[in-house]
């Protein structure tokens, strides 16, 4: 309600310890609101659709941004420009790891054995073979069918895009790019899970690739810790710089409230990342409390506290508008094979009330097809785009849906 007048200010209110305690409580409240109601705003977002010349260039530009790590998990790798980009980053000291499909690694044009020369490359476990050299009775074909990449544990690229010439120049494919921490964390965990499982028994290891793989492993072991060390040291230096700038700015606050413009200028100058927003507010609260303690007991302490509190509000408002956002109510990350993931996908489809647009390579899952049909029966306008060849395959449910 603004700064109290001298007549309204009791002696206790001018106590710097009391003022600092109030500021600290206000800061904790703001931090709690941000933690419960807001998430970091993605600093990097894009949607790539193929075939399009600029789409591949934007994917290459993403790989070239890497400073520390590139984790690639794709079904098939043949596109030479993407392989060349990975090779260049590996030569520059970036730790590159690749997970791919075992069958695809031996296809004509596959680049997996080339990548073993500079990246720690593993493939999924082959099918268990029977006595006749064929897959064991009752065992169904399986694939490492993911198509995603994580750069520096900060940027995710995921979608239908295989790293092949056909995918970049002929096929209808897509990639969603995001730096949203929750998504990046989920995909990083999936990569680590697969990489650990396949590394135990199935690194790329034909006679031709074994020597290259060993050299790549030695090089990666030598360069990964320094790279991550650089990341940690640069982060510490950045936070010291931010804290110093914040202290200098808040020192002016007792003489008048900091404007939203001044707060925004500070954020732009420091180039803060969204994940640092809560840390910044916590640091600002501590600095305000320290300012109050240093000013000692005097009649203007309450007015100065009000100015500092108002400045904290300006800073919090700027953080919320520029670096944070409300969490998405429908955000979810699903990995297959998983019965639970399948049910959650059907649950999302079941929420359709007005429209349901489906664009998939093939549709043969009865549970999913029935969920789409149910949406149609409820009155939702359902549209389906699929591949003409897979639509004719045994088990395809496309024509059944078309008849409905």
Among 89, 114, 146, 147, the active-site one is 147
118 exposure class (CB count in 10 Å sphere: 0-12, 13-18, 19+): buried
> For residue 188, what are its two tokens?
């990083």
Distance from chain centroid for Cα 60: 18
Cα distances (angstroms) measured from residue 77 to each of 59, 110, 148, 165, 336: 14, 6, 12, 9, 21
φ/ψ of 321, rounded to 5, equals: -85, -30
152 is catalytic: yes
68 three-class SS: coil
Among 145, 153, 182, 376, the active-site one is 145
Would you call the peptide bond into 159 cis, given omega within 30 degrees of 0 as the criterion? no
145 is catalytic: yes
d(C-alpha 40, C-alpha 322), whole Å: 10
312 touches 27 (CB < 8 A): yes
d(C-alpha 182, C-alpha 369), whole Å: 29
b/e map 321-354, b = 16+ CB within 10 Å: ebbbeeeeeeeebeeeeeeeeeeebbeebeebee
Distance from chain centroid for Cα 7: 54
Among 15, 135, 142, 152, the active-site one is 152
- Beta-carbon contacts of 61 under 8 Å, excluding residues fewer than 6 positions away, are none
Question: Could you tell me where the DSSP H helices lie in 253-300?
Answer: 260-270, 277-295
Number of residues that this document lists for the chain: 404
Q: Count the neighbouring beta carbons within 10 Å of the beta carbon of residue 394.
A: 5
β pairing state of 355-359 and 381-385:
parallel
Q: What is the DSSP letter of 77?
A: B
d(C-alpha 379, C-alpha 366), whole Å: 20
Report the largest interatomic distance among the alpha carbons of the chain, rounded to a whole angstrom. 97
Question: Annotated catalytic sites, by residue?
Answer: 145, 147, 152
């Amino acid at each position: 309600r603004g700064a109290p007048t001298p007549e309204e200010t009791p002696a206790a209110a001018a106590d710097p310890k009391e003022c600092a305690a109030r500021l600290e409580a206000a800061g904790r409240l703001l931090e709690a609101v941000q933690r419960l109601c807001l998430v970091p705003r993605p600093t990097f977002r894009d949607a790539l659709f193929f075939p399009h010349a600029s789409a591949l260039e934007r994917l290459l530009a993403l790989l070239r941004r890497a400073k520390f790590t590139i984790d690639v998990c794709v079904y098939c790798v043949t596109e030479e420009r993407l392989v060349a980009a990975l090779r260049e980053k590996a030569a520059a000291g970036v730790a590159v790891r690749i997970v791919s499909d075992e069958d695809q690694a031996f296809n004509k044009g596959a680049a997996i054995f080339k990548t073993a020369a500079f990246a720690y490359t593993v493939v999924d476990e082959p099918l268990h073979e029977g006595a006749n050299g064929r897959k064991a009775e009752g065992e169904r074909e399986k694939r490492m069918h993911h198509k995603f990449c994580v750069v520096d544990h900060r940027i995710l690229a995921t979608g239908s895009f295989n790293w092949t010439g056909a995918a970049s120049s002929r096929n209808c494919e897509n990639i969603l790019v995001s730096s949203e921490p929750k998504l990046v964390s989920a995909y990083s965990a999936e990569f680590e899970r697969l990489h650990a499982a396949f590394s135990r028994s199935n690194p790329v290891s034909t006679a031709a690739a074994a020597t290259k793989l060993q050299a790549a492993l030695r090089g990666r072991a030598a360069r990964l810790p320094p790279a991550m060390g650089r990341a940690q040291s640069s982060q510490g230096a950045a936070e010291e710089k931010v804290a110093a700038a914040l202290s200098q700015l808040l020192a002016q606050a007792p003489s008048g409230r900091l404007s939203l413009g001044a707060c925004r200028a500070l954020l732009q100058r420091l180039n803060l990342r969204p994940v640092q927003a809560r840390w910044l507010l916590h640091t600002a609260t501590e600095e305000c409390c320290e300012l109050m303690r240093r000013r000692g007991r005097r009649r203007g302490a309450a007015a100065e506290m009000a100015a500092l509190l108002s400045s904290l509000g300006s800073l919090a408002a700027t953080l919320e508008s520029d670096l944070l956002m409300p969490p998405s109510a429908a955000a979810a990350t699903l990995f297959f094979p998983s019965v639970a993931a399948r049910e959650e996908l059907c649950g999302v489809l079941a929420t359709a009330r007005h429209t349901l647009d489906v664009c998939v390579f093939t549709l043969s899952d009865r549970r999913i097809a029935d969920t789409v049909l149910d949406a149609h029966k409820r009155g939702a306008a359902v549209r389906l785009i699929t591949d003409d060849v897979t639509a004719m395959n045994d088990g395809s449910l496309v024509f059944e849906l078309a008849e409905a």
